[in-house]
Amino acid sequence: MKMFSVRCIAYAIIIFALYTPGAMAQEKTWNTQDSYQNFPTMGTQPHVVKRSPMNRNVVTNNQNNRFATGPQCQFPCFPQPCKTTYSEPSAYVGYLYRSHGGTLQTRLDGPATAGQTTFLRNDFDLQGIWLELALPVTISQDIGFVVSGAHLFALQPTSTQSYTIFNSPTAARQWNPDIQWWEMNAAATYQFAPSLSGVGGFRWTSLITNFNDPRNQVGFVSPNTDSASLNTNSYIPYGGFLIEGKPDCRSSIKVAAYGSPVLPASLVYNESMDLTSQPTTIYATTLSSTGYFFEALAEYSMRREAWLMGSFVRFTTLRMERSVGATVAGVNMPVDIIFDRSDWIFGGKLGYTF
């Protein structure tokens, strides 16, 4: 009985000694090859994190999560900025619609005599197709520059004019004005905070209006073929701010507001009239004026490969006023001139990025 027990114990020891090296070898093989995929263990995790297959998985996951990764970035990092474009030639096409249109007021402050006009007011529409070509250029990460030129293809508007005559009823008539509007603009931007930039620029605006074909005359001696013309040139320095947000690298939202508390400008107005038995001519000119300028802009654009498409809305208002000497019926007298206009532009944008 004792011999049987000793033999059993000896056999068990031999079997255990033969089995253990093989089991340990098999366990080592599992731990180094398969355990990090199917049977993770505490002892093998530090080794598994450093293996290249796991690093490729981390990069893939980070890309899916829109995080930047690199040799030094094994954990989620801040998103990388969008690729900077150096030039975006763009075309803006829209419809210019009058908010207030254009208004010219002329008040004659000289001594009133029979046959003299003391006040006239001319209200005319400003509407048509607006075409603007712009070239924004990125100079550095924080500095940008843009130049643009625009022209208004005016629709046939109607102008209504009223007159106040000394010791006579108020007179009125209508015109068919021919409008030519050209504009050149240059501006620079400087980003001094995320999404916020300062704007400074200069704009030249030329508005030439020839009033033709007078009709529906009230208070005139007889129907006539009088004419009138208005020529204004504005030289506007302005400043303001620009807010630009990018929900992603394929879209952009811009909101801007800028203006000037002064409005250097030149103005020439010439009109002939026959309100009484004495025909009268007004010729007024000024090389400078006081006033203001303000403009607000909202724009949305989206990128498809290198192309840009979007929409915009813009509101502009300006006012110039000046007291000048004018010739009225051959007599020089003081004249107060006020010209103001307000308009909206709604349209679309098409551009290409470099």
Phi, psi of 47 (to 5 degrees): -70, -35
- Chain segment 297-334, per-residue pLDDT in tens: 999 999 998 999 999 999 999 998 887 777 776 677 77
- pLDDT at position 308 is 94
Same domain, 36 and 94: no
With a cut of 50, list the residues of the chain below it in pLDDT.
1-6, 10, 13, 16-21, 23-71, 75, 113-114
Judge whether 187 lies within some domain. Answer: yes
Judge whether 70 lies within some domain. Answer: no
Domain, as residue range, for 181? 90-352
Same domain, 124 and 15: no
- pLDDT at position 71 is 47
The CA distance from 342 to 344, in Å, is 7
- pLDDT at position 62 is 43
- pLDDT at position 116 is 65
Same domain, 97 and 31: no
Encoded tokens for 110 = 């000289």
- pLDDT at position 11 is 53
Same domain, 214 and 338: yes
Judge whether 163 lies within some domain. Answer: yes
Same domain, 103 and 38: no
Same domain, 185 and 316: yes
Same domain, 136 and 259: yes
Judge whether 188 lies within some domain. Answer: yes
- Among 34, 49, 64, the domain boundary falls at 49
Neighbours of 94 (CB within 10 A): 19
- pLDDT at position 8 is 52
Judge whether 79 lies within some domain. Answer: no
Same domain, 347 and 236: yes
The CATH number of whichever domain residue 185 belongs to comes to 2.40.128.90
Judge whether 65 lies within some domain. Answer: no
CB 349 within 8 A of CB 308: yes
Same domain, 38 and 100: no
Same domain, 143 and 7: no
Q: How many domains does the chain have?
A: 2
Same domain, 114 and 35: no
- pLDDT at position 55 is 46
Neighbours of 161 (CB within 10 A): 21
Encoded tokens for 91 = 């075309």
CB 119 within 8 A of CB 108: yes
The CA distance from 341 to 101, in Å, is 5
- Chain segment 156-176, per-residue pLDDT in tens: 778 888 888 776 677 888 988
